[in-house]
Amino acid sequence: ILNVEQSPQSLHVQEGDSTNFTCSFPSSNFYALHWYRWETAKSPEALFVMTLNGDEKKKGRISATLNTKEGYSYLYIKGSQPEDSATYLCAARGETSGSRLTFGEGTQLTVNP
């Protein structure tokens, strides 16, 4: 089982602020990294899947980068809006994990108007 850690645990920002958070995973056994956005009482929403070192993905104001050599991914939100308030989960799949995803505990983002 992989050890996937996310920081910070929670974050409060003002509307319009840009923010970022981190997901770290073992670099020695890596296949893919997924980011999900999970609003309360809704389904976790798949944001990105990244596999290659240096990958950068973007969806609107949200982007993510991947560094497989050092075992981390950053998620960036530009110009945060109240509707961005959610828990952001990352999940890693190892080379020997098969179909297993190991999730981090998430970063809970609150954007104040």
Site residues (vs other proteins, CB under 8 A):
4, 31-32, 34, 36, 41-44, 46, 49, 89, 93, 98-106
Which residue from 107, 104, 87, 75 is spatially nearest to 3, judged by alpha carbons? 104
Q: How far is the CB of 84 from other proteins (least distance, A)?
A: 19
- Cα→Cα distances 102→24, 29, 39, 78, Å: 12, 12, 20, 27
Comparison of 50 and 77: residue with beta carbon closer to other proteins: 50
Q: How far is the CB of 33 from other proteins (least distance, A)?
A: 11
